[in-house]
Amino acid sequence: MPSRITAPVSTFWRDARLPFVEAREVRDGRRVCYDKHTHETYSIGAITGGRSQYLNGARRWTVQRGTVVAMNPGEVHACNPLADEPWSYRMLYVDAAWLADLQRPHGRDRGLQPLPMAISDDPALYAGLNRLYDGLVDPRADLLAKQIGAIEFFADLLRRMPAARDTSDDEDPRLQRVVEYIDAHYRQAVRIEELCAASGLSPSYLIRAFRSRYGMTPHRYLVDRRVRAGRELLRHRESIAAVAVATGFADQAHFQREFKRRVAATPGQYRI
């Protein structure tokens, strides 16, 4: 059955019958600050009030009510208050494999291809996203209506916004090996020597090139990877202490601190 968590600042929504999507609403963004982070999902949201600052990779915008923001899986981003200005927003986090299935009728068969949109002021897109959000979280709405609403919204999004050119072949494959090593060993204490051995890069070049490509150091990527794994375990109702151990954190307090920096909610608020 659908579950909602209501906290003083934000509400999370998930439904086991719709495992491909998660929703969140933040009503007072002044109390929600993010460190740079990534998602494994395709993420799209609507600014519903006020203004804030949105960072995606090396780009930065001031966004306001009526703006839609989006992040491809793995894109480093953050969205934070402007001074003490009030702002609010809604987000949908969509499983990349589910969205890739919607892309395949358009001739793509290599998984989810990145979408070029980072922000949009299109009123129709903004209204459609809000309608989908309202329909998903409505406990009275029929399951089939929710499924059709999600498919129609994202299929229309893909039709209007062809995927960006796949640049993976242009990137240094040695940096990808660093990412793959961290993804495989994030539960352990990773050392720079291991990353250099996996990639064939010197420590100074590895750190400089990694920061240029991903917007964070290998260590920050490691912590971010642990937090992403922690979100997945919390969605399956694992205890916070067990999640901290399973994801490689030194202790529960460390996990809680890093989780809040990237999710802008405590593990207890996020867990259903």
Report pLDDT digits (tens) over 195-253.
999 999 999 999 999 999 888 999 999 999 999 999 999 998 899 999 999 999 999 99
pLDDT above 70 for 164? no
Residue 125 in tokens: 């897109």
What average pLDDT is seen over the chain?
A: 89
Tell me how far apart the alpha carbons of residues 135 and 18 are, in angstroms, rounded to a whole number: 13
pLDDT band of 3, cuts 50, 70, 90: low
pLDDT band of 124, cuts 50, 70, 90: very high
Please report the pLDDT score of residue 218 as a whole number. 94
- Return the CATH class of domain 2-160: mainly beta
Q: Which of 12, 37, 153, 142 is nearest to 90 (CA)?
A: 12
Domain with CATH 1.10.10.60 in the chain: 171-270
User: What integer is the mean pLDDT of 67-77?
Assistant: 94
pLDDT above 70 for 8? no
pLDDT band of 271, cuts 50, 70, 90: confident
- Three-state SS at 251: coil
Tell me how far apart the alpha carbons of residues 95 and 20 are, in angstroms, rounded to a whole number: 5
User: Is it true that domain 171-270 has CATH number 1.10.10.60?
Assistant: yes
Domain with CATH 2.60.120.280 in the chain: 2-160
